[in-house]
Structure 1
Amino acid sequence: MIAVVQRVYEASVKVDGEIIGSIGNGLLVFLCVENRDTDDKVTYMSEKILNLRIFEDNNGKMSKSLQDINGDMLIISQFTLAGDCSKGRRPDFTEAAKPDAAKETYNKFIEDVSSKINGNTAIGIFGADMKVSLINDGPVTMIIKR
């Protein structure tokens, strides 16, 4: 499982020109499910992201988590994070989970986060052509692999 986590002032996702999800201050998470991902990885990733201390305290130090600030999370499925670009010019996506398995695991991640988050959760549509807009805060961007 791979997640690209961006600290944002706000973010939204459109499908067919219509905003289907938006958040205020919080995290935009691009989530990739890989072949051997299991439920324990879902739990690990949701806990890691919810409690990652990348928000600033009153002294400007990154010591607060999304939970600490009651922030929101926008979760977008993105299988292209599994793309291996080490050979040739065309990415190899063999490590990405097959769509049915990936969707099931993606939905488990959403359920896990939604049951624990202090703020709001918004999502994209799995497999859709999405247009994501954001105002990055910092910028602060982390890559988490499990």
Structure 2
Amino acid sequence: MSIAGWYYLHVNGDLIYKPDPDSIADIRDSDFASCSWPIDPSDRKNAWELLVEALALGAKEERISELATKWKCSDIDAEKFAEVVGVNLAIDGNSWCAHKKDFIDLQCSPAGFGDTALSAMANLARQLGLSAGHIWRQTFSDLVNA
């Protein structure tokens, strides 16, 4: 991974980019940064993981939508990401549904729903217990495959 910079989630919901690969020290030590992600512009999985996790942790939806558009992270592209990390995506009525491969039913298996595949995966991340942190924490992919 070639880290170009870091995104961090401010406690007020702003998702902020720092273009210096070494800025993690300042981000990690800040009381205002609840979570951080390295960014590698050539890594699609990295971009998706950031979007899903940031949305799940309370980033402002407008900022997530802006980055998803900029990075061309569409519902069609989401299906590729979901396949890579082990999530099933499907349309259920008017909503997207995201769940792990071992899904049984809604009574005993976590699932996320949303207007977009991204929001459904963010809801699934919440259901799986995603928590904020820096560097050494479980990612969405880790939780899906646990």
> Which bracket does the TM-score occupy, shorter chain normalised?
under 0.3
Instruction: Calculate the TM-score normalised by the size of structure 1.
Output: 0.25
Instruction: Calculate the TM-score normalised by the size of structure 2.
Output: 0.25
Richer in strand (by share): 1
- Bigger relative contact order (CA 8 A; separation at least 6): 1
